[in-house]
Amino acid sequence: MGDRLKGRVAVIIGAARGIGAGIAERFIEEGGCVIIGDTEREAGLATAKALGGDAKARFCFVDVTKPEDIAKAVSDAITQYGRLDIMVQNAGIYPWTLIENTSPEEWDKVLAVNLKGCFLAAKAALGPMRAQGYGRIVFTSSITGPRVTSPGHGHYSASKGGINAFIKAAAIEFAGYGITVNGVEPGNILTDGMKAHRSEEFIKSMAAMIPLGALGTPRDVANAVLYLASEEASYVTGTTIIVDGGQTLPEGADFKVVPD
């Protein structure tokens, strides 16, 4: 479709399906090559094959809580495609548990995947990006935590709020190396996972709270990530883009204005 990422190589963690797969597809459409990092081997291999196979997309097993796994994905990018220009950390988990019922083990797991994973991904990308004097790091945060929250998402909210703070710190530290660090904050995105685990009534109720009247798509998020990963965002760092159809804007439920 274009050449906004022509010659660029990306590692995308959490890209076997959903938003991550949408990001990988969008990058390849714009001329990039990608390493699809994920713990879902079968789905990841299928996604890589569908996006063009080894010439454009290669799967690598990545548990984002393990530094050696992320290092392997970075190594694969350099070995397969010659460089690393973009790191996207999209992997995340979101169990629903009230604070009073959250075990220390569950808290640690959510923070390890969602927040520590961003730290490890940034650290792994820093070496090759610093050596070439160029890099784009993009994290998937959320409106849940930085903007809004709901019961049962205490650990998830804390992890995503932490990502936004880490983005600012990393952006300052990495700026001198020609590396930008940014994030996206998706609202309710209609992924296959949501379709499988949420009722039609729930999805309709969420859409009713969104000014644009519908849940977002993985491609909506991917377009924002593409911008942050491209040359167009060369002077943008330390910030996030909210992709929520206006969900965080209304003060209450009575927000619809019907034109005459």
Rg of the chain in Å (alpha carbons):
18
Residue 230 tokens read as 């491209």
Residues noted as catalytic: 156
How distant, in Å, are the alpha carbons of 67, 218, 252 from that of 174? 19, 28, 40
- For residues 160 and 204, the answer to whether their CB atoms sit within 8 Å is no
Pairing of strands 179-186, 135-140: parallel
3-state secondary structure of 20: helix
Q: Which residues contact 167 (CB under 8 A, 6 or more apart)?
A: 139, 141, 181, 182, 183, 238, 239, 240
Taking CB atoms within 8 Å and a gap of at least 24, the contacts of 219-224 are 219/22, 219/25, 219/26, 220/186, 220/189, 221/19, 221/22, 221/23, 221/140, 221/184, 221/186, 221/189, 222/19, 222/22, 222/23, 222/25, 222/26, 223/26, 224/184
- For residues 182 and 237, the answer to whether their CB atoms sit within 8 Å is yes
Tell me how far apart the alpha carbons of residues 173 and 177 are, in angstroms, rounded to a whole number. 9
Tell me how far apart the alpha carbons of residues 209 and 199 are, in angstroms, rounded to a whole number. 16
